[in-house]
Amino acid sequence: MDVTTLMVGWGWTFDELQAGWQEIEALGYDACYLGDDLFPHYYEDDPAAAQEAVAVYDPWTVLPVMAATTKRMRIGSLVTPCGRRHPALFAKITTLVDIISEGRLTVSLGAGNAPDQTKACGLPFLTPRERVAMLEEEVRILDSLWAKSRTSFEGQYYQVRDLVHAPKPSRKPRPELQFGFSSPKFLTRLAAEFADRVNLFSGSDEEVQAAIDALHAHCRDFRRNPDEIVKTRAAIVTFTEKEVSEGERDDVIRARALEMKRDPEELLEEFRYALAYVGPPGGCAEALRERTEPLGIGELVVFPETIAENPYERTMAGLRTFASQVMPALQALPHSN
């Protein structure tokens, strides 16, 4: 199993970001992703709810530096929402990052989940079906630009005519593509056609299984082997010195929230939103294996404490503990797809 992390980095300095990804590679993680946000958000509808004066970095400005200062691990976004950048521009950006990284780039795409950021830019927040349709147009244009000499496309959201794109990516025929989704209703068909990886970020085991089942059904439509697609899942991990019973779990999370100056109920909601572990490091690998291996998960994306704002040292301390005491057992598991 691949063990990776998303370095949220809200509120960090750029020096902390760079030190973070360099240590993440040295610790043995298989990939380091960056989020694609304009400002910190907690899935709010109102841009006025955004935290002020908290640094948030554009991943596609940072990723070329990450590519040049790492050697082994994959890098990329998780995830870039539809409509954030025109596909002609995005093809240029991603191609250069792939060249600098010598083919280690994973381009992760999604249908968008931040109405506050969309509204703050004065853009309409489209329905889920409209966003999926927009993303499909983006993917078809990108796929053509990465591989072909000229591209023409007439869609509802994008039109390009006899568009050339050079140079081409290092990885052939294109960079690795990942789609982020949680529902069997959206993106599973597009992923079955194009994805190298899918990130099943949230939901219960049953909901994740339903999304995988839908993906496999669409793979049959395209006569594609579903095992070609790596399934990935996010995990929030909070380490404690003593065992934590089910009845004690919420109190431990609330206490951690107060230490982090976070709303306890907000942090509890995060832990309900994704796969989570609360307890000593010694029991973590087996607990996560039980929630991933039966589903055919081939990559675990680790978050220490939270999927949102977390100081540099607290994040890195969690990643160090995970790398030394949990990661070896997970990386030894078969690479399920």
User: Tell me, what's the pLDDT at 283?
Assistant: 96
Share of the chain above pLDDT 70, in %: 99
pLDDT band (50, 70, 90) for residue 48: confident
Most confident of 227-241, 265-279, 323-337: 227-241
User: Tell me, what's the pLDDT at 336?
Assistant: 67
pLDDT band (50, 70, 90) for residue 46: confident
Share of the chain above pLDDT 90, in %: 85
Position 10 pLDDT exceeds 70: yes
pLDDT band (50, 70, 90) for residue 43: low
pLDDT band (50, 70, 90) for residue 70: very high
Three-state secondary structure readout of the chain: CEEEEECCCCCCCHHHHHHHHHHHHHHCCCEEEECCCCCCCCCCCCHHHCCCCCCCCCHHHHHHHHHHCCCCCEEEECCEECCCCCHHHHHHHHHHHHHHHCCCEEEEEECCCCHHHHHHCCCCCCCHHHHHHHHHHHHHHHHHHHHCCEEEEECCCCEEEEEECCCCCCCCCCCEEEEEECCCCCCHHHHHHHCCEEEECCCCHHHHHHHHHHHHHHHHHCCCCHHHCEEEEEEEEEECCCCCCHHHHHHHHHHHHHHCCCCHHHHHHHHHHCEEEEECHHHHHHHHHHHHHHHCEEEEEEEECCCCCCCHHHHHHHHHHHHHHCHHHHHCCCCCC
Domain architecture of the chain: domains with CATH: 1-34+231-337 (no CATH), 40-47+74-228 (3.20.20.30)
Position 228 pLDDT exceeds 80: yes
pTM (two decimals): 0.95
Mean predicted confidence (pLDDT) in 103-124: 92
Give the residue with greater pLDDT, 112 vs 179. 179
| pLDDT tens, position by position, 213-224 | 999 999 999 999
Position 255 pLDDT exceeds 70: yes
